[in-house]
Amino acid sequence: MAIAVAFWAMGIGNSFTKFEKVEFISVYADPPTLGNPGNFTVNIVLKNTGTAAATIGNIFLNGRPWTKAMLV
């Protein structure tokens, strides 16, 4: 009976220890092309390695928040 209670208690404890953790897998910039002169394309690949769902609320590039206006 003690073993069953211990497993039950561990299950309860694990449900309160969920966390978000987002890791950068790769980041690179493609140079401007003839059809898109003067604009770099920044590629970011992220992976959620936490135990809870993660939400990205904003991205900062060179200290400035990214906006759709930055897309030209």
pLDDT band at 38 (very low <50, low <70, confident <90, very high): confident
Question: Across residues 50-66, what is the average pLDDT?
Answer: 87
Which pTM value belongs to this model?
0.58
Least confident of 32-36, 48-52, 53-57, 67-71: 67-71
DSSP 14: H
Q: Is the pLDDT of residue 55 over 60?
A: yes
Q: Is the pLDDT of residue 48 over 90?
A: yes
43's CB contacts (< 8 A; 6+ apart) are: 26, 27, 28, 29, 30
Residue appearing with tokens 């003067």: 38
Average pLDDT, the chain: 81
Beta bridge partners of 28: 43
Domain boundaries, the chain: 19-70
